[in-house]
Chains A and B, each alone.
Chain A
Amino acid sequence: MIKMLHVFLLLCVLLPMNAHAQNDKPGSSVLQNIPVQHEGRLKPLDSFAQIHLEQLSSQTSIGELSAMDWLALTLFDPQNAALIKVIRIENENVRHKMQLPDGQEFFNLEDLSKGVQQTQADVITLLEKPANTLSEDEKALISAHEKAATLIALMRSFSGTLPLNIQLPEKYAAQIAGPPSFMNLMEIEEKLQEDVKAIVLQKGANPANFSPEEAATAETGYNLQTLRMAGQTNKLLRVIPAAEENNEQWVSPWMAVLNREDSQAAEFLLSMWSDLAQSYRDNDTEQWDIIASELLTETKLQAATTIPEKRFAIERIYRTAKPYLWITLLYTAISIMALFSLKGSIAPALNKISAPLTGATIIAHASVIAARIYILDRPPVGTLYESILFVSVIAALAGLIMHIKKSNPLALFAGTFSALLLLLSAPFFEPDGDNLEVLVAVLNTGFWLTTHVLIITAGYGLCVIAAVLAHAALALKPEQAALRMTLQNNVYKLSLFALLFTAVGTVLGGIWADQSWGRFWGWDPKENGALLIVLWLIWVQHGRVSNRFKPPMFLALIACLNIVVAVSWFGVNLLNVGLHSYGFTSGMAEALLTFCVLETLLISALYWRHKKQQVAA
């Protein structure tokens, strides 16, 4: 679609006519539950609006407009929507290249049109290059074009049914029923194109030789052709159920317009959407509410499968509640509380409430994971983002259990702090994590994959809390020897459980691979990453048993688990190779390297300080 962006921009003059006024638009709340098929699943229109608004602007609202209000404006009153500065371009070099005004990051289509046309050729060349060879500026330029293309596609969603801003020669106007929309003009399109051919045959291709009526005919013919071409690629807003029974593919208004003869039911829905648009443009709130609710009922009736209304409701709550933000804030609060409960006059009071609060936070966190399972109707850990959500809850839970069992506030702090750090890293590794994505076929399978992923990620969680506690044990002062002994014991037991979970999780991964591809082990980067953690733990445990690793070294090497887990969990994704090449991320190599270096320095410093204290004692 990007390749045709300049054509689409030219088509902006053909956007449906302006609505009368911008204020007092009908409320969009009735529309929010209309189902739309997007990225492989049905979701409420409200989710669709939020995903696209965040994609274009990195914001959840634009001024006073909620995402749903913005979408309604974009769909039904595109000429006014074109004036809204909704596209965010953060990259300064791209703004400069596209000759955009200085000092702002948000632009409307008018601002962008010149820059888009000027950089179109560059972008087409860039699209031919492998993605991993693109610079940050090049990626940002492509992203700017993608945003413009998405906005135009949305604005033009109903351009096949809405009245067009064109002057139709009188003889054709009389032949169509209703205002001059593309759908209505389709009735005379064949005749009109024949007339255009006849004019060109008679008078040549130069419009200067045409009479005013012939020029208007030729222009209308050209516009219809261009609209049809643009409409053929407009498949973003799939709100109309497929005509055939048992067909799960929904269609966009343009797809329905261009295949009208296939389904009367789709045409009926299209006419309802047109009426809805008209009531929006007329600011007729009463009509709007009636049509919107009828449209919802009719869409449900026409869908081949039942619309999952309860899932829609949970998804709407999930998106409105911003759970990631809240659980991150909760972990921040309880981490601070757990820290202050270690020492000081308020420690006893804080100690009493920190465990129940952590329990409540974990329940909230687990509910978020459960909500995702329910909405997506699949096991919880299919993407990198989901694995971070899961590992963090395991770390917090392990800390809480240790605290409840042995009244160990440091374990509680280690657990909640580990969870917090992991959650904070999530947006860097997968910024679109909360978009609730479907999975590719290989990841969307069965029992073995689910058990493998859950067990191995639980192992990662235990590794992380063991490593954080090992840091704490190394950092303790000589006079805290008793606490250090307790922590050493905790770290040892946690590392055993971490070995149990990572080893079993790794071999279960082999069993999944055997079930899916017929081979247990293929030395794939993800398999090797998981094995590396297991080998590290085996090595450290054997070193401890054979007394080659004294307690400080044992603790330092367990502290290094953070590095091993980070490399195995995130690092292998940077290689971009492998049999199961999913969950790949790019541009995180520097962050990962920085983390590994800083961790190594920190652990080395803690270890040497501890050794020095031992010698001094």
Chain B
Amino acid sequence: MEKQPPSAKKLLNTLVDADMVFWIMPPLMILLITGTLAQRWLGLWPAIDQYFSTFIIWAGPVPLPGAYILLGVLSINLLLKFLFKSDWKWEKSGIALTHLGAIVLLLGGLVTAMTARETYMLIPEGDSTPYTYSYSQRDLLVFQGDDLLARYDFEDNKNWNFEKLPFGIDVQYACANCEILRRAETENYDETLPYQSMAQFMAFKEKPLDPQPETNLTGVQLNITGTSQDGIYMAFDGMPKPIEFEHDGQPYLIMLGKAQYPLPFEIELQDFVEERYGGTDMAKSYHSDVVVRDGDVEWPYRIEMNQPLTYRGYTFFQSSFEKGQGFEATILAVVENKGRLFPYIGTAIMTLGLLLHCFIALGRKRKAQP
């Protein structure tokens, strides 16, 4: 007799089964161990991308479930079991609450994964800024005068389409983390080529990505045609001077840098203070005294460890700082996360549930024996 495909009810029963947690835990633990060990060799962020922020892990040619799939199945199982198979008795109330807490935590993880954006802002003392910057995303920006004409995400540099620009651009070389060499000392140096601006003296060579994405020096070498100053140009992250030329009498600028996001208000750094333990170089604490300006309203605030500033959906954390001769700047991590409250609610529910379950179990006599 031909085997029938599983009915929706059967599938539902499988997804609701308490056994599902039992079967998901071993692969989740293996993933956790391998992903953690991989950090030793790959670095933190690449290992997270490869093992945890992914649906599939490739073990050679074999696809294995990544954290998204395992946690997704676990979430569905917990949710369905909670809704349809919970044992609504006092003795089981702790378990039900614990599961609810776990569901809220996992849901929070989903909302965070879908909505959170983590950027940063560097503000020198006395300066203010309404922009935050991406740690990892770099954009190639084309301006006509002061107007932004086009924005290109560096990650898609193989598919950049410059057709809408009034001049031609050809990407000759792109590196996510570049080493800068002297042009004249490079192997294929050809002095007859029309190198312009910094490209006359400098060349790129790709090097491995840095584990800290914000420290990668991203760069492109472009051949620009159809302008009054055609030639080969270079643009890279933090380049002090953008590519400048004219076309049909109009000035154009091209620059490459960390993706920038505007805030609906601005923040001024009045003072950054780093305290050290007496007689050592060891940091004891740091804080930033800032002024938040939103339209006509402004107010001061001190951002320090464990005391972030939260305003209009953005949270600003004291992350780091930069110091030079006569220069002091604070680095604030800026997080927009619509799921921020979930862990707090989930933790509270789960704690209550586990406490209840433990005390109910303590109250039981021999029934509780395994």
Contact = CB atoms under 8 A, between A and B. Distances in A.
Interface in A437-486: 438, 440-442, 444-449, 485
A59 interface: no
B317 A516 contact: yes
B347 A511 contact: yes
Contacts of A503: 350, 354
Contacts of A529: 36
A521 to B, nearest CB: 7
Given A493-B362, A504-B354, A575 B369 contact: no
Interface string A545-580: 110100100100000000000000000100111110
Contacts of B28: 535
B147 to A, nearest CB: 33
B284 A441 contact: yes
A528 B306 contact: no
B243 interface: no
B199 to A, nearest CB: 35
A516 B306 contact: yes
B130 interface: no
B278 A500 contact: no
Q: How large is the interface on B (under 10, 10 to 19, 20 to 34, 35 or more residues)?
A: 35 or more
Interface size, A (range): 35 or more
B279 A250 contact: yes
A249 B275 CA distance: 11
A79 interface: no
Contacts, number: 180
A576 B40 CA distance: 7
B22 A520 contact: no
A301 to B, nearest CB: 18
Interface in B264-313: 276-280, 282-286, 305-306, 308
A500 B370 contact: no
Interface in A520-536: 520-525, 528-529, 531-532, 535-536
A38 B29 contact: no
Interface string B36-49: 11011001100110
B150 interface: no
A535 B317 contact: no
Contacts of A446: 305-306
Nearest to A247: B278
Contact of B335 (A519, A531, A542): A519
B308 A523 contact: no
Contacts of B25: 535-536, 538-539, 542
A579 B333 contact: no
Contact of B285 (A441, A485, A523): A441
B65 interface: no
Nearest to A510: B343
Contact of B22 (A238, A248, A521, A546): A546
Contacts of A542: 18-19, 21-22, 25
Interface in A9-29: none
B347 A508 contact: yes
Contact of A40 (B22, B280, B317): B280
Contacts of B317: 516-518
**At the interface, is chain B mostly helix, strand, loop or mixed?**
helix
Nearest to B25: A539
Contacts of B315: 518
B44 to A, nearest CB: 6
Contacts of B276: 40
B22 A543 contact: yes
A38 B278 CA distance: 8
Interface string B330-370: 00011101001001101100110011011001100010111
A37 interface: yes
A548 B118 contact: no
Given A441-B283, A504-B350, A548-B22, A250 B52 contact: no
Interface in B99-157: 105, 108-109, 112, 116, 118
A551 B319 CA distance: 49
B32 interface: yes
B29 A536 contact: yes
Interface in A417-452: 438, 440-442, 444-449
A457 to B, nearest CB: 17
Nearest to A455: B351
Contacts of B62: none
B44 A524 contact: yes
Contacts of B366: 485, 489
A604 interface: no
Given A497-B358, A507-B350, A510-B343, A516 B44 contact: no
Contacts of A504: 347, 350-351, 354
A516 B317 CA distance: 7
Contact of A575 (B40, B284, B285, B357): B40
A492 interface: yes
Nearest to A548: B22
A499 interface: yes
A84 B308 CA distance: 54
A492 B361 CA distance: 9
Contacts of A523: 35-36, 44, 47-48, 51-52
Nearest to B356: A500
B280 A39 contact: yes
Contacts of B280: 39-40, 438
B333 A518 contact: yes
B285 A444 contact: yes
Counting from the closest, the 10 A-B pairs by CB-CB distance are: A40-B277, A539-B25, A518-B335, A500-B354, A441-B283, A518-B317, A446-B306, A542-B22, A507-B347, A528-B36
Given A515-B308, A535-B32, A554-B370, 15 more contacts: A39-B277, A40-B282, A441-B305, A442-B305, A447-B306, A489-B368, A496-B357, A507-B343, A518-B317, A519-B118, A522-B48, A523-B44, A532-B33, A539-B26, A546-B18
29 contacts: A38-B279, A40-B278, A40-B282, A235-B279, A248-B278, A441-B284, A446-B306, A489-B368, A489-B370, A492-B361, A493-B368, A499-B354, A500-B351, A500-B357, A504-B350, A508-B347, A512-B306, A516-B317, A518-B317, A523-B36, A523-B48, A523-B52, A524-B44, A528-B32, A532-B32, A535-B25, A538-B21, A577-B44, A579-B44
